[in-house]
Amino acid sequence: MSLHIGLYRPEIPPNTGNIARLCVALGAELHIVGQAAFDLSEKAARRAGLDYWDKVRISQHSSLEDYKAALPSDSDLYLVSIYGSRSYTSVRYKDGDAFLFGSETSGVPEEMKKSWNAERILKIPMEDSSRCLNLSNSVAVISYEAMRQIRSW
């Protein structure tokens, strides 16, 4: 098993490339949920992922429902959002858990947030003067915390 990193309609190729490389480093699986705003073979995405692309376990899903169906049955799926009320550090993660990160400019649709279990909407605490972190930084912060707990890193 491993972590599952879901990106909802990613828009910036270098972010996705960085996240792909991170997934290889963590042994995580990358999931693209919905249509990316670019082709994964785009030069900027390839460059950010360096020579790791052939090692990335990557899946594409047309919808959130398809992503959920691809996850192990015992996975807990967390939405990561600046609107979350629960800090990512308050969760006890387990092998096979999954995350969904929204697109860089618009996050996830409002109806998706409203339908999500509030206990599973996580945030990364930050100063009020900051609107948000870069997507690839957010994925790294939360993924490494999960792996620290799972593998005692």
Which residue numbers belong to the known binding site? 80, 102, 124
Q: Encoding tokens for residue 123? A: 């945030």
Q: Could you list the beta-strand ranges (E) of the chain.
A: 4-8, 29-33, 57-61, 77-80, 86-87, 98-101, 121-123
Which residue numbers belong to the known binding site for S-adenosyl-L-methionine? 80, 102, 124
Of 95, 62, 67, which Cα lies nearest the Cα of 79? 67
d(CA 136, CA 149): 20
Whole-angstrom CA distances from 45 to 7, 84, 85, 137, 150 are 14, 29, 32, 16, 29
